[in-house]
Amino acid sequence: MGPILEKNTFYSMIYNFLDGLMERVIPSMSEPLAWLVYVVAGLIMVIVIVNGVMIMSLLFIWWERRLLGRFHHRIGPNRWGPFGLFQPIADGIKTLFKEDIVPNEADRWVFNLAPIVVLSPLLVMVAVIPFGQGTYMVDLNVAVLYVVAAGTVETLGIFMAGWGSGNRYALFGAMRAIAVLLSYEVPLILALLGVIMLAGSMSLIAIVEAQSLPFLLLQPLGFFIFLTASIAEMNRAPFDLVEAESEIIAGFHTEYSGMKFGMLQLPDFLSPVIGAGFITALYLKGWVGWGVLPSQGWFLLKLVLVLFLIVWIRATVPRLRIDQVMAFAWKFLFPLSVINILVTAVEVIVLPQPSLAELWLLVGINFVVAIVGIVVMANLLGHRRFRAATPIRPSVTVS
């Protein structure tokens, strides 16, 4: 077993089982085929975790529709299976049998590769998510940088889908999506710097272990920025602007049909699950919990709470215009992220190894900074919620 996987209890369990099975079945070949056990154990671990995340995304599709039904005072899916549980499966089967149409003006190679390029980065990100104590694929010392780098590949896939379609409106939708992705990438990365400074590492395992208090308490402003920027990068309401109100199209995936369309839609439901996993690890102490629940159970519980918050925001906040979306990133989130970095840097320099009492003092300071910063920036942008409205005087018409 390699040194990278020594602390991975999930991999060790699979490896020891296969190694023992090999010794019982063909003991004479156990030593020469040790490399095969190593490879097969890794493949089984990858298959289990990736398919587990895919099943979670299917359950999230059903759960989100049911929740939105409750939020909107309607029923939601309830026909296929008990409580509509089989509705995502029925949708997948229907999409599988849809006709695959390729426009005459499309660049076939680019058009066909785009769905793979859009979906692949999300599956690659799963490798560093710690789903429990010792339950992960690999512990990278640059996991945060790895996630950010993998996420940028989606931008290339979106541009390929718009360009390869040979449709100007699809290209416009791709450019709008890319503008949002690039704009919100900046405050998202700056928000991550606060977590990295507090933990002193870019490993997600080390970040979870460094949280004597959840970083949600120590980084409330960073959590707000990261959550908002993540929702924008997921292309979810209120930032879902791949299509304009004046265009009766679907954005960069207008020309796609069949399973290619399904592969472009799957990231919309897979990315919240993966994003919630990162938020849980970065800000909610990951798998750490109390009581009889295993570490994986605590991680899943926190992940579900984050997903509920994401769905709640979608059901509550109305869609913004493209100019409002861009202004929100550059005029609101970006200055707040700079403030968060400066405050965190001062705290780390003044209190390099804070005690528990000093941590709670930092919690109070950071919450005050977050509230004051959000209120001040909102007023500077013109959304003055804390001053009396100017009374409207009726106009007098003189005949």
- pLDDT tens string, the chain, 399 residues long: the values are 555 566 777 788 888 888 787 777 777 665 666 778 888 888 888 888 888 888 888 899 999 999 999 898 888 888 888 888 888 888 888 888 888 888 888 888 999 999 999 988 888 899 899 988 888 888 888 999 999 998 888 889 999 999 999 888 888 888 888 888 989 999 999 999 999 999 999 999 999 999 999 999 999 999 999 999 999 988 888 888 777 666 667 788 888 988 888 888 888 889 999 999 999 999 999 898 887 888 889 999 999 999 999 999 999 988 888 888 899 999 999 999 999 999 999 999 998 888 999 999 999 999 999 999 999 988 887 655 545 555 656 655 555
310 neighbors 236 (Cβ within 8 angstroms): yes
329 neighbors 190 (Cβ within 8 angstroms): no
Domain-embedded: residue 386: no
Residues 6+ away with beta carbon under 8 Å from 54: 270
| Token code pair at residue 26 | 């063909």
Domain-embedded: residue 14: no
Domain-embedded: residue 82: no
Count, residues in the chain: 399
Domain-embedded: residue 281: yes
115 neighbors 189 (Cβ within 8 angstroms): no
Residues 6+ away with beta carbon under 8 Å from 44: 14, 18
Rg from Cα positions in the chain: 24
- Domain housing 292: 98-380
Tell me the whole-structure pTM to 2 decimals: 0.88
Domain-embedded: residue 34: no
The total number of structural domains that make up the chain: 1
Q: In whole angstroms, what is the distance from residue 347 CA to residue 32 CA?
A: 55
Domain-embedded: residue 150: yes
Domain-embedded: residue 9: no
What are the residue ranges of helices labelled H in the chain? 9-25, 34-71, 87-96, 108-125, 143-164, 168-199, 204-209, 215-218, 220-233, 258-283, 295-316, 322-327, 334-350, 356-380
Domain-embedded: residue 131: yes
